[in-house]
Structure 1
Amino acid sequence: MSIVAASEEGRIAFANIRKVTFFLISTALAEVAAILVALWLRWPMLLAPAQILWLNLVTNGVQDLALAFEPGSRDVLKRPPRPRREGILSATMWERTAIVGVVMAAGALFMFNWQFDRDRSLVAAQSVTLTTLVLSEAFRAGNARSENRSLFTLNPLANPFLLWASLGALSLHIAAMHLPPFQYVLGIEPISGAAWIRAVLVAATILVAVEARKAFRRRHPIRARPLRQRPTPRATQTE
Structure 2
Amino acid sequence: AVRDARAAGVRVCMVTGDHPATALAIARRLGIADARTGVVHGDDLAASKGPEERRRLVADATVFARIEPLQKLLIVEALKANGDFVAVTGDGVNDAPALASAHIGVAMGRNGTDAARRAAGLILADDNFASIVAGIREGRIAYANIRKVVAFLMASSIAEIGVFFLSLAFGLPLPFFALQLLWLNLVTDTIQHMGLALEREEPGLLARGPRAPSERLFDRWMVAQTLLAGATMAVVCTFAYRGLLDAGHTVEASRNLVLLLMVCFQNVHVFNCRSEIHSAFGHSMRGNPWLLLAVLTSQAVHLGAMYTPGLRDLLGLAPVAPLEWMGVAGASLGLILVMEAYKAVRRALGSR
**TM-score normalised by length of structure 1:** 0.89
Name the counterpart of 1:32: 161
Larger Rg: 2
Give unmatched runs, 5+ long, in structure 1: 224-239
2:276 match:
147
Structure 1 counterpart of 2:231, one-letter code: V
The structure whose residues are more often strand, as a share, is: 2
Whichever residue aligns with residue 105 of structure 1, its letter is A
Name the SS of the counterpart of 1:190 in structure 2: coil
The aligned amino acid for 2:276 is E
Aligned to 1:178: 307
Matched, 1:123 2:255: no
- 1:107–1:132 contact (8 Å) kept in structure 2: no
Select 1:209's aligned residue among 338, 346, 350: 338
Q: State the Cα distance separating 1:108 from its structure 2 match.
A: 0.8
Structure 2 residue ranges without an equivalent (≥5): 1-129
Q: Distance in 2 between matches of 1:197 and 1:161?
A: 24
Matched, 1:138 2:264: no
**Distance in 2 (alpha carbons) for counterparts of 1:200 and 1:58:** 16
Q: Who is 1:107 aligned against?
A: 236
Give the aligned residue type for 2:152. F
Q: Is this contact kept in 2: 1:91–1:222, CA < 8 A?
A: no
Opposite residue 4 of structure 1, the aligned amino acid is V
Match of 1:232 in 2: none
- Residue identity opposite 1:164 in structure 2: L
The answer to whether the 8 A contact 1:139-1:203 is kept is: yes
Cα contact 1:70–1:159 (8 A) shared by 2: yes
Please give the residue correspondences for 1:43-192 in structure 2 after superposition, counting only pairs within 5 Å.
Answer: 43-192=172-321
Q: Which amino acid aligns with 1:140?
A: H
* Aligned residue in 1 for 2:150: 21
2:186 is aligned with what amino acid? L
Residue 208 to residue 98, structure 1, CA distance change in 2 (3 Å): same
Q: Distance in 1 between matches of 2:219 and 2:286?
A: 27
Higher helix share: 1
Greater CA drift, 25-34 or 107-116? 107-116
CA distance in 2, matches of 1:40, 1:76: 43
RMSD: 1.4
Letter in 2 for 1:122: V
Deviation at 1:156, TM superposition (A): 1.4
Q: Tell me: higher relative CO, structure 1 or 2? Use CA pairs within 8 A at least 6 residues apart.
A: 1
Which 10-residue stretch deviates more, 83-92 or 210-219?
83-92
Instruction: Name the stretch that deviates more: 53-62 or 98-107.
Output: 53-62
Aligned-residue offset at 1:222: 4.7
Please give the TM-score of this superposition, normalised by the length of structure 2. Answer: 0.61
